[in-house]
Amino acid sequence: MKVGYYPGCSLEASSKEYSDSLFAVAEKCGISLEIINDWNCCGASTAHNLNHELAVALPARSLALAEKQGLTEIVIPCAACYSRLSQSQYELNQDSIIKTKVENYLNMSISGSIKLLTVLDFLHKYIFPVVDQHIVNKLNQKTACYYGCLLARPKETSTIKRTEDPMEMEEVMQKAGATPIKWAFKTECCGAGFSVSKTDIVAKLSGKIIEDAADRGAESIIVACPMCHMNLDMRRPNIKKQIKRDINIPVLFITQALGLSMGISADRLGLNKHYVPTDKTEKCIIKKEA
């Protein structure tokens, strides 16, 4: 089976392990991911702050290319990229004026019919039906599933059922044998792109998330967004200074956690690329009872 794939910039660089683990899990389940040829930047947080048409046109180009390539479904692992691509497609379908404009800029036509999948949609649709036969380990841990701001919002384009209290990640982690905890910060903002310009704010916001997870007994935090991962993982020294507590629970991409339960090696899943060591999570893996 073949599904289209839009990597976005993070998955090629700072969050390469997200991409690696996604490919590893997909491969294990017999699904191949086909990259959109000549894809371009989604515009990220910059474009839609500067120019509305540009913010629609940038993702539209990748969508048009995907259509040309004959893809009917694409998985977009980065929550921000998903947000931009889905928002662009939504607006093109709603607003014929902007659609005409964008098609003229790009000199390409867009039908707007491609089904866009978040990583959670992808896991639920393609991995869930076959996952049981591939799960060999039990990830014997309490995990805090963290959605961040974009995965569940906005309502118009989100595929999540309960915006304020989503459960889709928890369902995946249960498959992996983990025990998802109830906590209060699963859809709070980590500070996102302010990581660079206002690191103190990010440390404060991310600090609250890490503290709540730790206080409620989480042994790992599971994410599905490169930006969330970066803030919760790489910014740990700033967070430590901010909250005056040294919390060292690791942050894993959901595909990494699922990969571990499938018996894929930590190296292949890129667990060595994290700032906060993940060895505690790796150690708690036990063989699944037959």
**Considering only 110-118, 163-171, 237-245, 277-285, which stretch makes contact with another protein by CB under 8 A?**
163-171
Among 1, 50, 155, 290, binds another protein (CB under 8 A): 155
C-alpha closest to that of 69 among 25, 113, 37, 99: 37
Residue 165 sits in the site that holds another protein (CB under 8 A): yes
Cβ density class 123-158: b for 16+ within 10 Å, e for less: bbebbeeebeebbebbbbbbbbbbbbbbbbbeeebb
Answer whether the bond into residue 154 is a cis peptide, omega within 30°: yes
Q: Does 161 bind another protein (CB under 8 A)?
A: no
Nearest approach in angstroms of CB 93 to another protein is: 21
- Give the interface size with another protein as a residue count (CB under 8 A): 11
Q: Which of 50, 133, 164, 289 binds another protein (CB under 8 A)?
A: 164
x/- mask, another protein, residues 170-189, rule CB under 8 A, reads ------------x-xx--x-
Between 172 and 205, name the residue whose CB sits nearer to another protein: 205
- Among 87, 89, 41, residue whose Cα is nearest residue 63: 89
Among residues 69, 67, 60, which one has the least CA distance to residue 106?
A: 60
Determine the Cα–Cα distance for residues 78 and 226; give it in Å rounded to an integer: 6
Is residue 163 a contact point for another protein (CB under 8 A)?
A: yes
Measuring CA to CA, how many Å separate 9 from each of 15, 44, 176, 185, 265? 9, 9, 28, 27, 25
In whole angstroms, give the CA distance from residue 250 to residue 214. Answer: 11
What the block records as the tokens of 14 is: 């700072």
Shortest Å distance, C-beta 161 to another protein: 11
- Which of 84, 186 has the CB closer to another protein? 186
Binding characters for another protein, 193-232, by CB under 8 A (x = yes): -------------------x--x-----------------
The site for another protein (CB under 8 A) is made up of 155, 162-165, 182, 184-185, 188, 212, 215
